[in-house]
Amino acid sequence: MKDEESGNRLGSYLRARRELISPAQAGIPPGGNRRVPGLRREEVALLAGISPDYYLRLERGRDKNPSPQVLEALARVLRLDDVERTYLLGLTAARPRAPRRKRPEHVPARVHQLLAHLQIPAFVEGRAFDVLTSNPMAVALSPRLRPGQNRLRSLFLDPEEQAFHQDWAKAAASFIAALRTTIGDDIDNPRFVELVGELALSSQRFRTLWARHDVRNLDGGTTTVHHPIVGDLRLHRDKLPIDDVILVVYYPDKDSDSDEKLQLLAALAQTEPADTAHSSPADAPHPKTP
């Protein structure tokens, strides 16, 4: 997290978003010899109603406390949605960081009981997408959902996980943007530093996506995955916060083709019980890099 370590997170974010906005999107006539992707600094300043010199100071980290009005104007020019706008407002020096208690992520006992009763794929993940516990149906859906696995590491470093997703590129972009949102200002968290550092060294695609500074919430939705035994499954996903962790469930439409295939997986899961014991990310074995 080189940009975070430099202390200029606001400037890094502004620069990344500026490079993603085309002149046409900003209403600027085409033409001229453009040497930079996206908008020039002076164009952003003009559209936001601030001086080019002041905008330059923001990008270079010389002014880390712009007014909310300036940030709102920049959010409009950079075409930020609500999640991105909230993220931008949280990058200023005026927002004090609350001290964080470093405690291990814990799965409540009642959640273990819940997982044992669910007949659909369900697992619990931590803030860094570590799988903390899972039920047999989750493991039947994907062995990368065993306790101790990390969903981001699997997504970028495991070819089987990449083949599992019908739209891997979309999934990868969504996970990275969600990680940005999750990290927020907790940039010195050892788990985040370790994970981002490992993936940045191991995956060019991760480095490219991380440099975009996309942010979004990875909540519910519908996805299609390819299971090596039963084929394609169209599943809905819900993520439910419980204390400091997230319960994730996947389920099909009732009486659909995917529902029948999931019932077949349930029969397979009965013959191969999953280890549902809590596994700490620090103690869990890391999958080998292909």
Q: What is the reported pLDDT for 242?
A: 92
Q: What is the pLDDT of residue 276?
A: 42
Strand bridging mode 231-242 / 245-251: antiparallel
| Mean per-residue pLDDT, 11-34 | 86
Query: What is the pLDDT averaged over residues 115-141?
Result: 95
In whole angstroms, give the CA distance from residue 192 to residue 87. 18
pLDDT bracket for residue 29 (50, 70, 90): confident
Query: ∠85-87-91 over CA atoms, to 5°?
Result: 115
Q: What is the pLDDT of residues 187-231, one digit of tens each?
A: 888 999 999 999 999 999 999 999 999 998 877 889 999 999 999
pTM of the complete model: 0.81
Which pLDDT score, from 0 to 100, does residue 100 have? 56
The model's pLDDT over 47-106, given as tens digits with 9 standing for 90+, comes to: 999 999 999 999 999 988 899 999 999 999 999 999 999 999 988 855 555 555 567 888
**Fold observed for domain 10-91:** 434 Repressor (Amino-terminal Domain) (1.10.260)
φ, ψ for residue 208 (rounded to 5)? Answer: -65, -45
Q: Domain residues of the chain, as ranges? A: 10-91, 109-271
**CA distances (Å), 233 to each of 207, 238, 264, in order?**
30, 16, 12
Distances (CA, A) of 159 to 40, 153, 165, 224: 39, 11, 10, 17
Q: What is the pLDDT of residues 136-175, one digit of tens each?
A: 999 999 999 999 999 999 999 999 999 999 999 999 999 9
Instruction: Residue 266: name the closest of 225, 226, 229 by CA.
Output: 229
DSSP 236: E
Other Cβ atoms within 10 Å of 175 Cβ, number = 19
118 burial class (0-12, 13-18, 19+ CB within 10 angstroms)? middle
CATH architecture of 109-271: 2-Layer Sandwich (3.30)
